[in-house]
A and B are shown apart, each in its own frame.
Chain A
């Protein structure tokens, strides 16, 4: 489904600040895989997601989604296959536009945009049904500007937008880490629910080891631009935080340095 081969990304090439963020990364996802991606700061997990989404061009390697080589494809051209939720709740939605207008933009992802009216009454019914499931009362406020919503509401809306068209691959980039614990839990539960229901292949970056263990069928850990652990299915179900720390130490030869991952 997704196949990444020999991916290398270097920032600031040829300057003193040159930094290899991804070093020859290869892995592949099967249809319906729900992968949690974990690692310390600067391990390259967000960079990996951004490279898959086409935000950054890559130096070497290839990215193949559904048999289609997207390595050279522009960000907006890949968007039709992807659903994305960002860390910053402000980034995923257009604040000056209404809730329904944002959803209508997402519904047309990957389609040719025409001079037809930007939103239809039939869609509105669909949006109401979808928003009702969030239990945030957004279905009654379809024309409210998104800028008036809270961070948690915006993130929940972004999640609905990302999964609206059953993307081939869902990319969640620490999408709960800017929210308060209770809201983060709500958004995470919703994500889990959506992903399982439609069996969406998902790559979820998280800082939180407990979440990484609890959700998904596979766990990938990155360190210094490389994948150092890839645990799946039964092995993953038996995993504990202590295990994970021990295996991290063995694989990387270092102590895990991320407090937030340990404390939360």
Chain B
């Protein structure tokens, strides 16, 4: 049981990187960006194919980050320059990335069993496999939280937040909203690809299908983090996102342990997200003050 929980925490830390990326588009930019389904696989594909060709794993992971940023840039261009709605822009990039990822990998699956990964240095220090991933994942998430806290507190970061919150106001304050949307998508998808690179190295393989459903996992983690943990300051929100990703993995580990077939996992996740997203509606419906109309319909 402890093993299962520790495994869940480990995996949760790697997915936390992705969750923070999803938060940037979903909450800060106010865009549901489906590019992540492709960019998480892209990160894994770039890292795995480079590492299997003998490239230094740290360099390969950086290339993965860069690849994800490019994917975000493409979605950003489709949305801002060609004026395609954001949801559709994300879907287009996601579909395109499926082919791109197959090209990068050359086949549907790459094994990383007998090669050095970013975790190897920590095994060499005497840590076991799970501990190595946990330690690296922890410091990676911690570092990212600090960097993003700083970034979104800067003048440019504030401009990105204003753009997502009220684009009209942002433009009136001289903010180039198109550039800010592109910037947000670039950062977000970079993080998602980084997460994919870390995940593929910890599970020792990359698969072209591994991104399917990842947006829903990311959203579930964001919502769990927001509901269960603090959201008073931006810093505590970032921490609660990481905790949300871990909690999601723990929940999944527990329901699997209780005997739910693994094939039902995506259905379970989708239902969880649907319920969580509709909570405000149910709360309003059940509250003692009955409304005669609802604002949104």
Give A contacts to B, CB under 8 Å: 53, 74-77, 79-80, 82, 84, 86, 90-97, 101, 104-106, 108-111, 113-119, 161
Contact = CB atoms under 8 A, between A and B. Distances in A.
30 contacts: A53-B172, A76-B170, A76-B171, A76-B176, A79-B174, A79-B175, A86-B168, A91-B166, A91-B168, A92-B169, A92-B172, A93-B166, A94-B162, A94-B166, A94-B170, A105-B162, A105-B173, A108-B173, A110-B174, A113-B156, A113-B159, A115-B151, A115-B154, A115-B156, A116-B154, A117-B154, A117-B155, A118-B154, A118-B158, A161-B173
Given A76-B174, A76-B176, A118-B158, A95 B168 contact: no
B155 A116 contact: yes
Give the top 7 A-B pairs by smallest Cβ distance, nearest first.
Answer: A79-B174, A118-B158, A113-B155, A94-B165, A109-B174, A94-B166, A94-B162
Interface of B: 151, 153-159, 161-162, 165-166, 168-177
A151 to B, nearest CB: 15
A115 B150 CA distance: 9
Given A79-B171, A80-B174, A96 B156 contact: no
A119 B154 CA distance: 8
Chain A contact residues: helix, strand, loop or mixed: loop
B157 A118 contact: yes
A96 B165 contact: yes
Contacts of A91: 166, 168-169
Contacts of B170: 76, 94, 105
Contacts of B158: 97, 101, 104-105, 113, 118-119
Nearest to B168: A91
B177 A76 contact: yes
A114 B154 contact: yes
Nearest to A104: B158
Nearest to B158: A118
A177 B57 CA distance: 62
Given A97-B158, A114-B155, 14 more contacts: A74-B176, A76-B175, A79-B172, A79-B174, A94-B161, A97-B162, A105-B159, A109-B174, A110-B174, A111-B174, A113-B158, A118-B154, A118-B155, A118-B157
Contact of B173 (A95, A109, A119): A109
Contacts of B162: 94, 97, 105
Contact of A79 (B155, B157, B173): B173
A100 to B, nearest CB: 11
Contacts of B166: 90-91, 93-95
Contacts of B151: 115
Nearest to A114: B155
Contacts of A101: 158
Contacts of B176: 74, 76
A96 B163 CA distance: 11
A119 B153 CA distance: 8
A116 B156 CA distance: 8
A53 B169 CA distance: 12
Contacts of B161: 94, 96-97
A101 B153 CA distance: 10
B237 to A, nearest CB: 11
A77 to B, nearest CB: 8
